[in-house]
Chains A and B, each alone.
Chain A
């Protein structure tokens, strides 16, 4: 079952890129195609980060534990769209001028935030293999991969800091992220109090 489902999900994850390419070939990206591509890949990055973050709550709340099988793919697609997003900026806006790019990273806080979000994804992408999990050990690997919380947060801040006046869309991402993080907080509190309860029970 999973064997057939995985390629389907993989293709679904590529659909936003396909749609972008199709519109590009059909002159349907509007008056400012570069901007449309930049915005679209940025949206995809944030969306995939949030989808990746929703795997754990979803599988626990619905008890569909097999969903874990998709988490790595979804996370890697976030990295994939993030890379495209960054490359477009680096090439089309900055023509790979390192000096110019670094100046922006230091000076423009929305670029600082965006670059932080991307940089935090790199170690996650690099250690996404089964081999890495074995090598690092489950606990340490899990701890490292909590960096996604900070990456997603930096990504949302990046969006908030770049808009002119209309915060509607970035705040939509922010509220989804807040719900996903709140779930983790509540889950953590419950598991802790359960652990404390156990200790007390054993003492009594």
Chain B
């Protein structure tokens, strides 16, 4: 376990080919099945076959993370295919098109990477990403992920509870909230050249939300390093909240006594609140939140209270009017 950090630093060429075989097999099998279905439908053409013969390389770009523990928090629902989770991204720093980040984030630099810890802490510090990754053993957390737009996916994230980092950051007793800031780098993130949102992206959690064991500090998925378009090298995943609460590419974690602003709230205060808990009974002003389209499914399915994590997190909000605190 103590050399996990160095394992993580391995470049892709260091990884034994035997380690990545299962994934490629799995992907090829998927392509094969898709291809077979196409052929069966008498619809297979040159293009379809080409894709079958040489599957896209991006699907194998990740570096495997070793020593991942399973987690009791994981759902047993069908995991969304890797290809969908890596080509359908809301990451406005790169593009407002869903398929844009996968293309535009390819050369995003995730090393060297430092995370500034400041605000109401005993000692302000700057942590190296690789030091953070060694704080606790990696766990696989298969979570439902519900976007405020009305679609959802099931993702096998890799990380550990955010509380592990917060404990080590030593916030003072005055700290009531924690704020996450995404990197600001127009040269690498073309989307930041447009004022679609206010940059850099900021998000926040109440301290007890952030300390909740479900709140994940995430650096991987599908057993590999996090792809750039999914928030590498470091993001949070807060599964009972709408996806935009889970900040990506974090460079600063600030502890504060006042409720931080969050980017979407700044953009449209009547539409996106600070809490943004998944709630089928509180609609977005412009659309219903009662149902969602799970990627890969035809019809919509009902959205669950707190995205199905009510048993674990509902107690955080007892006595609160969730219509007001949307």
Which residues does A use to contact B, with CB under 8 Å?
25-27, 30-32, 34-35, 92-93, 95, 104, 108-110, 161-162, 164-166, 168
Q: List 18 A-B contacts (CB under 8 A).
A: A26-B45, A26-B47, A30-B87, A31-B85, A32-B88, A32-B98, A32-B293, A32-B295, A34-B293, A35-B151, A92-B298, A92-B299, A93-B300, A108-B286, A110-B286, A165-B268, A166-B196, A168-B96
For chain B, the count of residues having a C-beta within 8 Å of the partner chain is 30
A165 & B197 in contact (Cβ 8 Å cutoff): yes
**How many angstroms between the C-alpha atoms of A161 and B267 in the bound complex?**
15
User: Which of B34, B286, B288 lies in contact with A109, CB distance below 8 A?
Assistant: B286
Known: A31-B295, A32-B293. A104 touches B98 (CB 8 A): no
Other-chain residue from A25, A162, A165 in contact with B41 (beta carbon distance below 8 A) = A25
From the candidates A26, A30, A110, A161, name the one contacting B98 in the complex (CB within 8 A).
Answer: A30
The 6 closest A-B pairs by CB, nearest first: A31-B88, A31-B84, A166-B96, A25-B43, A166-B196, A165-B196
How many inter-chain residue pairs (CB < 8 Å) link A and B? 56
A110 to chain B: which residues have CB within 8 Å? 286-287
Partner of A30, one of B34, B99, B293: B99
Chain B residues near A108 (CB-CB < 8 A): 286-288
CB distance from B85 to the nearest CB of A (A): 8
How many Å from the CB of B191 to the closest CB on chain A? 9
Known: A25-B41, A92-B299. A30 touches B286 (CB 8 A): no
Of chain A, the residue at the smallest CB distance from B83 is A31
List 17 extra interface pairs beyond A110-B287, A165-B197, CB under 8 A: A25-B38, A25-B43, A26-B38, A27-B34, A31-B83, A31-B85, A31-B87, A31-B88, A32-B88, A32-B295, A92-B298, A108-B286, A108-B287, A110-B286, A164-B268, A165-B96, A165-B267
B122 at interface by CB-CB < 8 Å: no
Chain A residues whose C-beta falls within 8 Å of the C-beta of B48 in the assembled complex: 26
Verify B299–A30 contact, CB threshold 8 A.
Answer: no
Contact residues of B between 77 and 130, Cβ < 8 Å to A: 83-85, 87-88, 92, 96, 98-99
